[in-house]
Amino acid sequence: MGFANRVLWTLLSLVVLAGRALAQPVEIGPTGIRVTDVAVAPAAPGLIYVASGSGVQKSVDGGTSWAATPRVPGEVTNVVIDSLSAQTVFAIFDVDGSASSRLYRSRDGGESWTSVAFPSQRRIRRVTVRGSTVYAAAYGYVLLPNWDLGHRDASMVSRDGGTTWLPLGFTTNPIEAFAIDPVNPNETLAFSSWDFYRTNDAGGHWSLLFEEQWAGFRACAIDPTNPSIVYLGASSGMRRSVDGGATWGAVGLDAGSVNAIIVDPSSPSTVYAGTSGGLFRSADSGESWQSIGFAFESVDAVALDPASPGSLYVIAGGRLFRVRPEGPKCAPGASTLCLNGGRFQVQVTWQSTGEGSGLGHAIPLSSNTGYFWFFDGANIELAVKILDGTAYNGKFWFFAGSLTDVGYTIVVTDTETGVGKSYRSAPGRMSSFADTSAFPRADGAVVEVSGDIAAGPTPATAYLGAVEACTVGRDSVCLSGGRFRAQVTWRTTDGRSGAAQANAVTSDTGSFWFFQESNVELVLKVLDGRSLNGHYWVFYGALSDVAYTITVTDTETGIVKTYDNPQGTLASHADTDAF
């Protein structure tokens, strides 16, 4: 088990089943306003920004409601979220009747905006942001020999988050946009209307890789899992490179201009293209395409919806839509649990300063319950379950019990409604919690909840002397090489009591149920921590607030420890000095 000192929340990968038909698009607003661009925060489900003629509009609930951020003069043409921080947002405002654009930055999620000191007399097409690195594709005007005004490239780069800027000057053709390599940010791609460039040193030097006169390049996307694969959209279709842009080939997409390209990070063979002839999807990295909506209508922007697997936000005709796959969407996988008849999808990301970050590995335990391990398959870190409580309060209930203090985020999606909930636990905390009003909510709503910590009990210690070796029974499990026996008794407020039924999950971990086998109430593990502090460690996470007593016996020494949980308490607890 790792120990984390600070929280860093990361992208939760979503599983998309390629080839599934999409339901009819649903317009989600903001109503009465023409929108031109959309930005979605992958690590903050439900957070959406749109650019419009009325400033930047923001939704925190997946488009159910909208609010204007503090108004900055001008028409917003582009809004971009920093790929490393959902709180940092940039917006381009074109000044009416002027040859200039103004660039604004918010570092508090759009609550306030400050003007970025970008050189004047430049029109900014698009900004690309990754942490302190900001590229601005811009152009200026030049007087041609025939006295007409032409365009010259005036793109800039900032290495301090937009405070100061340096001119790039590697071409005279106006750059349309930049694309930063998600694996190696020193590598960045840039394209004009008919040529394509790459830098390997964060913009210091640029190389021309590809040129096609009058191609009308409009969009670019890098495969986030394999940066050698690059897609380039043009006025006459799409190109693809499998060697980082050195060579290119056409893909079979004949739908007019390609205005937007999205590669699904969890299923990189799935590619979406917004075109002048509608929305298209490829399940085989661009080899073949199928129309999935907006036939014969221009799609100008596309973004993945992190709160609903396989769903998209789409701008077409100046309006924002959400489109979702039809039919059941949860597919169990290495990082995905499908609970309660497959209706609910559960995924977890973890973050540790010592171990990095990643997806939790999902293991089903019953039809309603499962667990996740982070680093070692024998070491369970988190147990979850979903119960149908509609007969009691009209809701489905979600429970989680952690056996770790590693920081993590749980995302639960109701695949029938698209409603998602995100639960976050900070590093250094052990949380058990119950959300008995989890689902359903209004369609498309996403709520973030921090797991509450119930104070762990002070263990009672006894010494029995010599005891029998541990044997597995219906009410006991043998953990940590069979040395420790774990048993649980429960009691209710109406006077009932009994011995919990036990099941071994791994060599170190067991689960217990009280009333029904499919309803796991408690998960417990014993780890050998002697190499760190000379003790065996006991961890448990509750999925129930029923009163219970845990008894753990060291069959080699006869030492017994009991942990008593009072009625109405949901607790996760770590005893790193147990034995």
Phi, psi of 392 (to 5 degrees): -100, -50
Sequence letter at residue 198: R
- Give the sign of the dihedral formed by CA 572, CA 501, CA 347, CA 448: negative
Buried b (16+ CB within 10 A) or exposed e, 115-153: ebebeeebbbbbbbbbeebbbbbbbbeeeeeeeeeebeb
Over 430-490, what HEC string results?
A: CCEEEEEEEECCCCCCEEEEECCCCCCCCCEEEECCCCCCCCCECCEEEECCCCEEEEEEE
Backbone φ/ψ region at 422: left (φ over 0), alpha (ψ -120 to 50), beta? beta
Residue 420 has a pLDDT of 75
- Which helix (DSSP H) or strand (DSSP E) does residue 77 occupy? strand 75-82
CA nearest 566: which of 546, 538, 540, 544? 546
3-class secondary structure, 288? coil
Residue pair 142/150 in contact (Cβ under 8 Å)? The answer is yes
CA nearest 164: which of 103, 221, 206, 220? 103
pLDDT of 277-325, one tens digit each? 999 998 888 888 988 888 888 999 999 887 666 789 999 999 999 887 6
Residue pair 172/153 in contact (Cβ under 8 Å)? The answer is yes
Residue 315 has a pLDDT of 95
- Give the sign of the dihedral formed by CA 468, CA 471, CA 473, CA 476: positive
CA nearest 400: which of 519, 199, 570? 570
Instruction: Please state the separation of Cα 444 from the chain's center in Å.
Output: 16
Give the C-alpha distances (Å, rounded to integers) separating 163 from 159, 166, 177, 372: 8, 10, 20, 43
Residue 4 has a pLDDT of 29
What is the per-residue DSSP string for 307-326?
TSTT-EEEEETTEEEEE-BS
pLDDT < 70 regions, the chain? 1-23, 43, 72-74, 96-99, 142-150, 307-309, 325-329, 353-356, 417-418, 440-467
The rounded distance, in Å, linking the Cα atoms of 381 and 313 is 34
Angle, alpha carbons 377-353-109 (nearest 5°): 115
Structure tokens at 542: 């509750």
Residue 15 has a pLDDT of 31
Structure tokens at 246: 């050195």
To the nearest 10°, report the CA torsion of 234, 240, 243, 246. -40
The rounded distance, in Å, linking the Cα atoms of 225 and 285 is 12
Backbone φ/ψ region at 35: left (φ over 0), alpha (ψ -120 to 50), beta? beta
The rounded distance, in Å, linking the Cα atoms of 407 and 425 is 6
- Which helix (DSSP H) or strand (DSSP E) does residue 36 occupy? strand 35-40
CA nearest 314: which of 60, 13, 28? 28
To the nearest 10°, report the CA torsion of 310, 316, 319, 323. -20
Residue 219 has a pLDDT of 95
pLDDT of 216-238, one tens digit each? 999 999 998 889 999 999 998 89
Give the C-alpha distances (Å, rounded to integers) separating 170 from 86, 202, 205: 31, 13, 8
Check: pTM over 0.75? Answer yes or no: no
Q: CB-based burial of residue 416 (10 Å sphere; 0-12 exposed, 13-18 middle, 19+ buried)?
A: middle
- Give the sign of the dihedral formed by CA 140, CA 112, CA 131, CA 75: negative
